[in-house]
Amino acid sequence: MLSFAVRKLVYSILVVFGVVTVVFFIMNLLPDPARMMQGQRADLATQTAIRHELGLDLPAWQRYARFVGNVAKGDLGRSFTSNRPVLESIWERFGATATLTISAMIIASVVGVAIGVVSAIRSYTLFDNATMLFALIGISVPAFVMGLLAMLVFGSWLDWLPVSGYMWEGGELHIEYLILPMMVLAFRPVSVIARVTRSSMIEVMSSDYIRTAKAKGAPWKSIVYKHALRNALNPVVTTVSAWLAGLLVGTYFIEYIFNWPGIGLQAFDAIIRSDFPVIQGTVIFSAVIFVTVNFFVDLIYARLDPRVKLG
């Protein structure tokens, strides 16, 4: 177990290092930051001073070494627009993103697994066909389209929920602001998790040990939840972990549509303002989060299913 964890940790560090390298070279293909920071009226002396301060007058290999060293220390640079440390501003926004993502994944996991289990038990019935059609629609419709439809129906036509804002306003909790973006964000993962759970359950339910348990007269609930569901969870956990990592770093459109103050909205603002340090910092931070989540999920596999070999 320890050797497996160390090996996965090394792989994770290499992935992050690769992302940092790619980000550095892509950002160096963009226009001169010194000119963009000062605007059209910038004089040459000011641009030269800014380039020296940012280290842009150094050879490429020195700039790369400095950049990697700063990232390793947690220094992602300073924002062009606010002059604040990028990592500090990202951390301030990450709480909002994590709240939205985790709440959406809890809903998606519970509802998706429940639908998948019932669909597997009642496979090829009307309920199964209806839920799988629902899942197909959920997979096919992009999140931003679903968000706009939800705003139109529940915010405009029915006037049930607010369509913009954050749940913490004036130090008070307003949970109604969370419901709509959370449900929109959970819609697609619910569909995927339901389909994966159904397929995995159907495969497990046809196994020899399940038939043996039935022949021995084991209670039906025990067969389904103790034997079948536990052994069918591995692909489900893989799906949930992938969606959790993906949503943590990919809620950009939902946050932008619902004006949710997370790192997605911050990234959109940075792109509009050509704030390169915030853009590259968001990409690197997202890569670290994605790799970290997947690292811990890989360690959980052996606990869920003893058949998994950590080789």
Sequence-distant (6+) residues with CB within 8 A of 101 are 185, 244, 247, 248, 251
Q: Is 63 within 8 Å of 55 (Cβ atoms)?
A: yes
Amino acid identity for residue 28 in this structure: N
What whole-number distance in Å separates Cα of residue 41 and Cα of residue 115? 61
User: Coil, strand, or helix at residue 25?
Assistant: helix
What are the boundaries of each domain within the chain?
2-72, 87-304
The predicted-structure confidence for 161-218, as pLDDT tens digits, reads as follows 888 877 776 667 778 888 899 998 888 889 999 998 888 888 888 777 777 777 777 7
Region 87-304: CATH code: 1.10.3720.10
In this prediction the pTM is: 0.79
Amino acid identity for residue 52 in this structure: H
Mean pLDDT value across residues 244-257: 80
Q: At what angle do helices 276-304 and 2-27 cross, to 10 degrees?
A: 160
What whole-number distance in Å separates Cα of residue 137 and Cα of residue 148? 16
Mean pLDDT value across residues 95-115: 89
pLDDT for the residue numbered 178: 87
User: Coil, strand, or helix at residue 168?
Assistant: strand
| Distance, CA of 110 to chain centre | 18
Instruction: Name the least confident of 11-20, 34-43, 85-94, 146-155.
Output: 34-43
Q: Is 147 within 8 Å of 254 (Cβ atoms)?
A: yes
Question: Binning pLDDT at 50, 70 and 90, where does residue 111 land?
Answer: very high
- What would the two tokens of residue 61 be? 């290999």
DSSP string, 59-94: -HHHHHHHHHHHHHTT---B-TTT-SBHHHHHHHHH
Average pLDDT, the chain: 81
Amino acid identity for residue 244 in this structure: L
Q: Is 239 within 8 Å of 196 (Cβ atoms)?
A: yes
